[in-house]
Amino acid sequence: MSLEMFFQHFFNALTLGSLYALIAIGYTMVYGVLRLINFAHGDILMVGAYFVFFGTFAFGWPWGVSAIAAVCGASLLGVLVERVAYRPLREAPRISALISAIAVSFFIESLAVVVFTGQPRPVLQPDWLISEWQWGRVHILKLTAFVPVMTAVLVAALLYILYRTKPGLAMRAISKDIETTRLMGVRVDNIIAFTFAVGSALAAASGIMWALRYPQVHPYMGIMPGLKAFVAAVVGGIGSVQGAVIGGVILGFVEIMSIAFFPELSGYRDAFAFIILVLVLVFKPTGLLGENLKEKI
């Protein structure tokens, strides 16, 4: 493979990995506070992408404004999902919440089909993002640099929240011992809602950039990225934010590079994530950065 090609693949992989990482963080954070796999997470991504589509197309808002509105809207939706579908089941057996999560996922997808129709819609790509930088024979799509940079900024902001603010301290405490955390005066319900807000915001950010990269939106667009990001979260060690980022990047690289080096395997593109999942579950069931948990998902 030529160096030029390699660079392009490298940036593509970094972009895809970043998108997975942002989604994976939401799975891992929600798992951390509730020990729940939020199956509706991928659908939040889809809703975020739709919001941006409507913002830019229907209302003609500038991209930045639409993106911010979409992130806020998706965040609210995440909080609403927790409130309506998970909070009433907090004391119920774990499986009930899981079933509720799957139901919410179907509900959001079906509602999207009804409201937005099943028709894929094109997304307007801002010119500056789809222009290229060129060094000699290396061409880099600006978007493939923008996505990793944006992701790094968002992850840095998240780490700031987690490690430098009170709600972050509370989130980290809840993940280990919810009762003691309450005893310390933490209003756990609020922190859980905040966790959903943050996780959903990151999923929406990912969904928006996803829609920029593969410029269309449709009601089922969240399923595959959601599934793979879930795999990324497990690979990295569910419950660990750093693990989710690493898992996402690994998945992005494996997916892009395996096709780059073995183009004949491109039909199996979606299978690589699951092969990695199986390998990790066999050799390191807690994931790369995961700690030993008493219960596994």
Partner 1 sequence: MSTPDIMLEIKDLYVNYGGICAVQGVNLSIQRGSIVTLVGANGAGKSSIIRSIAGLNRQVTGDILFSRKQGDKPESILGLKPENMVRRGISLSPEGRRILPHLTVRENLLLGAYSRNDRAGIQRDMERVYELFPRLEERSWQKGGTLSGGEQQMLAVGRALMGQPDLIMLDEPSLGLAPLLVKEIFAIIERIHQTGVTVLLVEQNAYAALNVADYAYILEVGRIALEGTGKELLANPQVRAAYLGG
Give the binding site for partner 1 (CB under 8 A).
Answer: 166, 169-170, 172-173, 176-177, 179-188
Longest dimension (CA), the chain: 62
Closest CB to partner 1 among residues 188, 288? 188
Minimum distance between the CB of residue 235 and partner 1, rounded to whole angstroms? 21
Whole-number Cα distances in Å, 217 to 85, 96, 123, 207, 212: 25, 31, 7, 9, 9
Closest CB to partner 1 among residues 132, 291? 291
Minimum distance between the CB of residue 180 and partner 1, rounded to whole angstroms? 4
Closest CB to partner 1 among residues 37, 191? 191
Query: In 127-177, where does DSSP find H-type helix?
Result: 127-130, 142-164, 166-174
Tell me if 178 sits within 8 A of 188, measured CB to CB.
Answer: yes
Minimum distance between the CB of residue 284 and partner 1, rounded to whole angstroms? 19
Q: Find the angle CA(33)-CA(285)-CA(96) to the nearest 5 degrees.
A: 45
> Of 209, 294, 272, 195, nearest to 21 (Cα)?
209
Minimum distance between the CB of residue 190 and partner 1, rounded to whole angstroms? 10
Q: How far apart are CA 283 and CA 296, in angstroms?
A: 15
> Of 201, 204, 213, 224, nearest to 272 (Cα)?
224
Minimum distance between the CB of residue 155 and partner 1, rounded to whole angstroms? 19
Closest CB to partner 1 among residues 142, 182? 182
Q: How far apart are CA 199 and CA 71, in angstroms?
A: 10
Closest CB to partner 1 among residues 164, 282? 164
Closest CB to partner 1 among residues 69, 169? 169
Closest CB to partner 1 among residues 222, 239? 239
Minimum distance between the CB of residue 78 and partner 1, rounded to whole angstroms? 23
Closest CB to partner 1 among residues 132, 177? 177
> Of 257, 275, 274, nearest to 266 (Cα)?
257
Whole-number Cα distances in Å, 200 to 28, 70, 175: 12, 11, 18
Minimum distance between the CB of residue 185 and partner 1, rounded to whole angstroms? 3
Tell me if 108 sits within 8 A of 40, measured CB to CB.
Answer: yes
Q: Which amino acid is at 35?
A: R
Q: How far apart are CA 115 and CA 77, in angstroms?
A: 16
